């Protein structure tokens, strides 16, 4: 839905269905209620998650036409797609496989091109749109720095045909589409600083040379084309886990002219171990679940940080000098504390205040997807939970700025 600060939506990765017909059924079961609660008299935007299997089905003209007709009937529009998880995301163990296949593979490229072709057909006239995608690869798959560098170069080369596809779509239709790359803990692009360094040192020179040599672009034309079609998916939870500050993030992006394709509004778990240490160590056990990765970054008394690939490793490696933990969990936005534990809700407040002062993206997407694995006393009906999330964002945006 359109707000004074951009189009606000939520991501449908909360709804199960790796096959298109199954996912469509969950959308039909939930979206009318959510729209009626939040936007009864205005169009309601949807951040659509399409799994690989679903994308193949939705490329069929009759399937896409049926979906478009339903969207029109319901006064709902699609403007962003979540292309990060390729396969199963519900009722299965996801963990590091959320990165599979990565950008070193043809499968990831083919899948992402399908998503853009679907989005180009669904997108309302006059709007731009974006597809989010993983941070090139999962760094723990690569055993040495040389292997990781080779994977980074290979992934970057694989993005070039996608860039050509986005250029073609813009030339033929006038529609601007962008790949929104999402840094995540333990990705090759672990944080926004990694993303900026990669963009400056590898993507810009590689893609510029490609466009200049193949299409005879000028240097300025090549740079502007890359900045238009390759953008950042700024996930607030991921930035918080990396202890990155929104002001620093925006300063680094602005310096290079990098754009934010979307702000994913999400919250991480936070633990302050300066008090009630034993109680908090016990409390975090209830969040130790087997489905998703819950990377942990600890801040120690001397200011140093330690990275753990998942919560079990962090629990096993706990030491007295660890003052704070931040845990990748995507907990609900509207809750600031979870018993003895805290969240990084304040990082969302700071980021939205910065955005409100000087908007840096057109799209805002709530991405809380861990409802089903939260402790039982925190679970609510999914439609009600989504409404509460979006209402909290609206209230936060409408509150007096903290800046």
CATH of domain 2-266+344-398: 3.20.20.150
Where is average pLDDT lowest: 56-70, 104-118, 289-303, 361-375? 361-375
pLDDT bucket at 378, cuts 50 / 70 / 90:
low
The two tokens of residue 270 are 């936070």
Taking residues 340-367, report their average pLDDT: 95
Q: How many helices (H) and strands (E) does the chain have?
A: 14, 15
DSSP states of 193-220 as a string?
Answer: HHHHHHIIIIIHHHHHHHHHHHH---HH
pLDDT bucket at 373, cuts 50 / 70 / 90:
very low
Question: Mean pLDDT highest for which of 87-96, 322-331, 377-386?
Answer: 322-331
Domain boundaries, the chain: 2-266+344-398
How far is 25 from 219, CA to CA, in rounded Å? 48
pLDDT score, position 370? 65
Cβ atoms of 264 and 367 closer than 8 Å: yes
pTM, entire model: 0.95
Rounded to the nearest integer, the mean pLDDT of the chain is: 92
pLDDT bucket at 288, cuts 50 / 70 / 90:
confident
Angle at 236 between CA 233 and CA 237, to 5 degrees: 115
Alpha helix locations (H) across 181-337? 192-198, 204-215, 219-229, 236-241, 246-256, 277-284, 311-316
Percent share of the chain, pLDDT over 70: 94
pLDDT score, position 287? 82
How far is 297 from 382, CA to CA, in rounded Å? 29
Q: What is the pLDDT of residues 216-264, one digit of tens each?
A: 999 999 999 999 999 999 999 999 999 999 999 999 999 999 999 999 9
């Amino acid at each position: 839905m359109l707000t004074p600060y951009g189009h606000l939506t939520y991501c449908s990765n909360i709804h199960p269905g790796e096959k298109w017909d199954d996912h469509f059924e969950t959308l039909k079961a939930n979206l009318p209620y959510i729209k009626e609660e939040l936007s009864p008299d205005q169009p309601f935007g949807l951040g659509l998650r399409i799994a690989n299997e679903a994308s193949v089905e939705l490329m069929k003209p009759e399937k896409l036409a049926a979906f478009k007709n339903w969207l029109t009937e319901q006064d709902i529009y699609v403007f962003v797609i979540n292309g990060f998880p390729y396969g199963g995301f519900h009722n299965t163990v996801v963990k590091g496989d959320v990165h599979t296949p990565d950008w070193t593979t043809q499968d990831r490229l083919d899948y992402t091109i399908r998503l853009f072709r679907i989005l180009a057909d669904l997108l309302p006239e006059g709007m731009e749109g974006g597809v989010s995608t993983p941070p090139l690869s999962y760094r723990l798959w690569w055993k040495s720095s040389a292997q990781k560098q080779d994977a980074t170069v290979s992934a970057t080369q694989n993005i070039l045909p996608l860039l050509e596809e986005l250029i073609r779509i813009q030339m033929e239709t006038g529609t601007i589409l962008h790949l929104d790359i999402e840094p995540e803990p333990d990705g090759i692009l672990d944080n926004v600083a990694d993303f900026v360094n990669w963009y400056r040192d590898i993507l810009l020179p590689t893609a510029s040379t490609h466009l200049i040599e193949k299409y005879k672009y000028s240097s300025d034309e090549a740079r502007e084309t890359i900045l238009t079609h390759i953008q950042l998916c700024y996930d607030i939870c991921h930035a918080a886990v990396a202890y990155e500050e929104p002001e620093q993030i925006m300063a680094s992006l602005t310096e290079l002219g990098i754009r934010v394709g979307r702000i994913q509004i999400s919250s991480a778990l936070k633990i302050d171990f300066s008090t009630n240490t034993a109680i908090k160590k016990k409390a975090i056990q209830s969040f130790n679940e087997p489905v998703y990765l819950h990377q942990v970054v600890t801040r120690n008394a001397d200011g140093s940080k330690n990275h753990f690939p998942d919560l079990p490793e962090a629990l096993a490696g706990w030491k007295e000098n660890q003052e704070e933990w931040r845990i990748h969990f995507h907990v609900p936005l509207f809750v600031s504390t979870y018993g003895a534990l805290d969240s990084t809700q304040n990082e969302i407040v700071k980021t939205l205040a910065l955005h409100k002062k000087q908007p840096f993206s057109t799209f805002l997407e709530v991405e809380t997807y861990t409802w089903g694995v939260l402790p039982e006393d925190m679970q609510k009906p999914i439609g009600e939970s989504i409404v509460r999330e979006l209402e909290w964002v609206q209230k936060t945006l409408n509150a007096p700025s903290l800046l």
